[in-house]
Homo-oligomer: A and B are copies of this chain.
């Protein structure tokens, strides 16, 4: 019952997301080269893991183009700076409706892909880690649903595991964490298990401490975990996660600002997180220590 904080903390930097943050900061990387360079800079600043989406280099819109993932992967793999690559597999479950009456139709704005398609870039690029958004939920948009059915999650997870890539389970609410445990119980996701608690994403779990601790109390003791929150709660959650025994995630996917009115780079966010961690008396660990902990193998893309 003495405070069981994490004293050896790894930082994940989520360098660019799938939302429309491009227009809000010039520091959000867009092209594969920009994304890879942002990742490498984040690694230099202390991130052991870089979590990457890709974007259409022309428009900045989120993309699922396998060639873009491959380009990002190749540049990061070729860099002098060692870092663990974590590719999103969260794209392709984007269901849109046109208002609230024509509910029997998917809006053409939807992007709904099958399991094979959703993991293809993972099988190709062989990152050390890829994400699995462990449930279906609303987001802030009025007519949008992020769709990941139980069947889809079992299917995607099995493909990821078969490909030798470690899964980072993303839990956006307590029910997602519950289903993650189900996937482990069913033998689909093997140990060591890694989960990211995604706090304060509307309309998933809010980021108040009571909810956060309830989730942390439900993470099995032998799992590895990290947590993050959005916007101005990104840095507070660096502290919250370390205090509760977890690792941390920062980056422009989750928050654009270094301080009120001051736009950040990914590397600056990592540096600030590292400063909080070290001032709390913990140590920031690098990619090899994380590989050891999560049993990761760095492999060349296929």
In the complex, identify which listed stretch (A49-57, A65-73, A149-157) lies at the interface while the others stay far away: A149-157
A142 CA to B182 CA in the complex, in Å? 13
In the complex, identify which listed stretch (A23-31, A38-46, A75-83, A271-279) lies at the interface while the others stay far away: A271-279
Interface 0/1 of A167-182, CB less than 8 Å to B: 0000011111111011
Are B232 and A218 touching (Cβ within 8 A)?
no
- List, in ascending order, chain B residues with CB within 8 A of A213's CB: 209-210, 213-214
- List, in ascending order, chain B residues with CB within 8 A of A229's CB: 3
In the complex, identify which listed stretch (A13-21, A198-206, A290-298) lies at the interface while the others stay far away: A198-206
Q: Residue A59 at the B interface, CB < 8 A?
A: no
B100, B135, B147, B238: the one contacting A151 at CB < 8 Å is B100
- List, in ascending order, chain B residues with CB within 8 A of A276's CB: 239, 276, 279-280
- List, in ascending order, chain B residues with CB within 8 A of A215's CB: 211
How many chain A residues sit at the interface, stated as a range, is: 35 or more
Q: Residue A194 at the B interface, CB < 8 A?
A: no
Are B209 and A100 touching (Cβ within 8 A)?
no
Are B175 and A203 touching (Cβ within 8 A)?
yes
Task: Write 24 A-B pairs (CB below 8 A) sorted by A numbering.
Answer: A1-B177, A1-B207, A1-B208, A1-B211, A2-B208, A3-B200, A3-B229, A3-B233, A100-B151, A101-B115, A103-B114, A105-B106, A136-B136, A136-B138, A138-B149, A138-B179, A145-B149, A178-B205, A178-B206, A179-B203, A210-B214, A211-B214, A236-B281, A238-B280
Using CB atoms and an 8 Å cutoff, list the residues of chain A in contact with chain B.
1-5, 92-93, 97, 99-106, 110, 112-116, 135-138, 140-145, 147-152, 154-156, 172-179, 181-182, 200, 202-211, 213-218, 229, 232-233, 235-240, 242-244, 259-260, 272, 275-276, 279-281
